Amino acid sequence: MKRILMIVAMLALVSSLTHAEDLKTLNLDDASTIGMTIQADTQVKAEGKSSIKITTLWSTTICLGEITGLDVEDAILVYKAKVKSDLEGTAFLEMWSHVGGRQYFSRGMNDVIEQKTDWKIIQTPSVFQKGQKPDKVTLNVVINGKGTLWIDDIVLSKEPLTE
């Protein structure tokens, strides 16, 4: 009896899959269809030889890097970057901390860049208590809207916890 019920359930599943309706197909023959470009910009930069220029048609999150081997136990880790924008919307920094198999995030939503802005330093902090030490830290920039964002001079710094 169990075997018959199992066969009936599998037939029902297969039958439902054959009635699936494709809603949209994304053709990636042309990279412009993804609505975003990331490139080095040697003309617009805060320091060094270039900045990263991100142009997007919609909201997106870009991973800028992952860092391991940080000694930030009992401290504040601060993720800072110089940014310049020409946006319809806002952008901010986001940091994911991977600690002992768990993930924690810090979003710099109180330190955003928006519209057309010249170079500005924005940041987001993350607090690590005694006994908390990140295995890995992921650095993102989040763009809520569309337009162009330049990012340069990314810095991770450690500050002592003040009591």
Examine residue 120 and state whether it is found in any structural domain, yes or no.
yes
Its domain, for residue 64, covers: 25-160
Note the pTM of the prediction, 2 decimals: 0.80
Examine residue 77 and state whether it is found in any structural domain, yes or no.
yes
- Length in residues, the chain: 163
Residue 155: per-residue pLDDT: 95
Examine residue 116 and state whether it is found in any structural domain, yes or no.
yes
Question: pLDDT higher for 16 or 119?
Answer: 119
A 10 A CB-CB count for 36 gives: 15
Mean pLDDT of the chain, nearest integer: 88
Examine residue 40 and state whether it is found in any structural domain, yes or no.
yes
Q: 46 forms bridges with which residues in the sheet?
A: none
Structure tokens at 46: 């805060």
Mean pLDDT of the 87-99 span: 96
Q: 4 falls in which pLDDT band (50, 70, 90)?
A: confident
Examine residue 66 and state whether it is found in any structural domain, yes or no.
yes
Q: Are 73 and 130 in contact (CB under 8 A)?
A: yes
Structure tokens at 30: 């042309």
Please, is 151 exposed, middle or buried when counting C-beta atoms within 10 Å of its C-beta (0-12, 13-18, 19+)?
buried
> Coil, strand, or helix at residue 38?
strand
State how far the Cα of 131 lies from the Cα of 154, in Å rounded to an integer: 27
Question: Could you give the percent of the chain with pLDDT greater than 90?
Answer: 61
State how far the Cα of 124 lies from the Cα of 15, in Å rounded to an integer: 50
Residue 122: per-residue pLDDT: 97
What stretch of H or E contains 154?
A: strand 136-160
Residue 149: per-residue pLDDT: 97
Please determine, for residue 8, whether its predicted confidence score (pLDDT) is greater than 90.
no
Question: Could you give the percent of the chain with pLDDT greater than 70?
Answer: 90
* Residue keyed to tokens 């040697």: 42
Over its C-alpha atoms, the chain yields an Rg (Å, rounded) of: 22
Enumerate the H helices of 18-158 as residue ranges: none
Q: Are 139 and 80 in contact (CB under 8 A)?
A: no
Examine residue 11 and state whether it is found in any structural domain, yes or no.
no
Q: What is the total count of domains within the chain?
A: 1
**CATH at residue 71:** 2.60.120.260
Examine residue 9 and state whether it is found in any structural domain, yes or no.
no
Residue 17: per-residue pLDDT: 58
Question: pLDDT higher for 22 or 14?
Answer: 22
Examine residue 110 and state whether it is found in any structural domain, yes or no.
yes
Q: 161 falls in which pLDDT band (50, 70, 90)?
A: confident
Q: 143 falls in which pLDDT band (50, 70, 90)?
A: very high
pLDDT single digits (tens) 19-53: 678 787 777 777 777 788 888 999 998 989 999 99
